[in-house]
Amino acid sequence: MRRLLFVIIALATLLPSLAQAYDVLVLQSSHNTGYEQAFNGFRSDCKAPQRVVVLSDYVDVDVVRIVREERPRLILAIGDTALAATRKITQTPVIAVVALGINAKANLTGVTMFAPPEKYCNLFKQLKVHNVGVIHNPDKTGWYLDKAQKAAEKVGIKLIVRKVATPRETLAQLDSLAGKVDTLWMLPDTTAVTRETVEAYFRFGQHQAVPVVSFASSYLGLGAAAAVDINSTEMGRQAGDMANALLRGVRIDDIPRQAPRGTKYTINPNVLGKLDINDASE
């Protein structure tokens, strides 16, 4: 009996594909609250067998090897670190959430961090601002600025746009907006908004006495006046819907990236009070 048990254990060890069969490889960047919420939303909608790898728990993870050996039917990448880990994956479909770098790639789709521009324009109207400064990299967010320009024109808001190709150009472009705008709009653009540049946005807001509107409530504590906040759990559910479609046989080409469904306005009343602006609410 002991020998039989030993053989069974040995076979399970030698044949991990049989012992660990699953459909979805979940790559999570870290134990971040937003990432956890997105994963909870995902698994509430997608019931397919999953393997979860939290990248921050390991020194290094060979995602290419995992995919080659275990052959998941799709990958869920939660966060930019997780998305970056899939860059060499070209055949297995990848769904990304809570990530800024969801670009054009044949096997990639997901839920972007870009709320519909109409949501921002409505907030600008409530803040009673008209000249909105925005800095972006056209290669990364030009598609979104085209939509934003059209939405802004419809409600009489002027976007004063500055383009950058590298993060270091952001500071000079911020200086060029001084005296020309009555609010500053932070886009989820990985060139214009980085760890090195983010504080400059709030210094600009303080020195120019204009509100800074961001894409995440986490920036309120740093000095943003308001944000169009995204519900991470709802983003996960959207990703779950995409995964279910892929598992049913829908081609990834027929599942374009989506804007987040769950958004809400959040404000920093202290900043608004200093700027003598009434509270904005949805």
Indicate which CATH number applies to the domain containing 103. Answer: 3.40.50.2300
Residue 9 pLDDT: 42
Cβ neighbours of residue 7 under 8 Å, at least 6 residues apart?
none
Average pLDDT value for the chain: 90
Cβ neighbours of residue 48 under 8 Å, at least 6 residues apart?
22, 23, 24, 73, 243, 244, 247
Residue 3 pLDDT: 55
Cβ neighbours of residue 23 under 8 Å, at least 6 residues apart?
48, 49, 50, 72, 73, 74, 247
Do both 128 and 32 map to the same domain?
A: no
Q: Does pLDDT of 13 surpass 60?
A: no
Do both 210 and 123 map to the same domain?
A: yes
Do both 49 and 92 map to the same domain?
A: yes
Q: Does pLDDT of 2 surpass 70?
A: no
For residue 169, the enclosing domain spans 117-214
| Tokens coding 104 | 């054009």
The total number of structural domains in the chain stands at: 2
Do both 98 and 12 map to the same domain?
A: yes
| Tokens coding 147 | 């939509």
Q: Does residue 98 come out as left (phi exceeding 0), alpha (psi in the -120 to 50 range) or beta?
A: left
Do both 107 and 8 map to the same domain?
A: yes
Q: Report percent pLDDT > 70 for the chain.
A: 91
Q: Report percent pLDDT > 90 for the chain.
A: 82
20 falls in which pLDDT band (50, 70, 90)? low
11 falls in which pLDDT band (50, 70, 90)? very low
Is position 227 within any domain?
A: no
Residue 19 pLDDT: 43
Do both 26 and 105 map to the same domain?
A: yes
Q: Of 43-52, 98-107, 222-231, 261-270, where does mean pLDDT reach its minimum? A: 98-107
Residue 127 pLDDT: 93
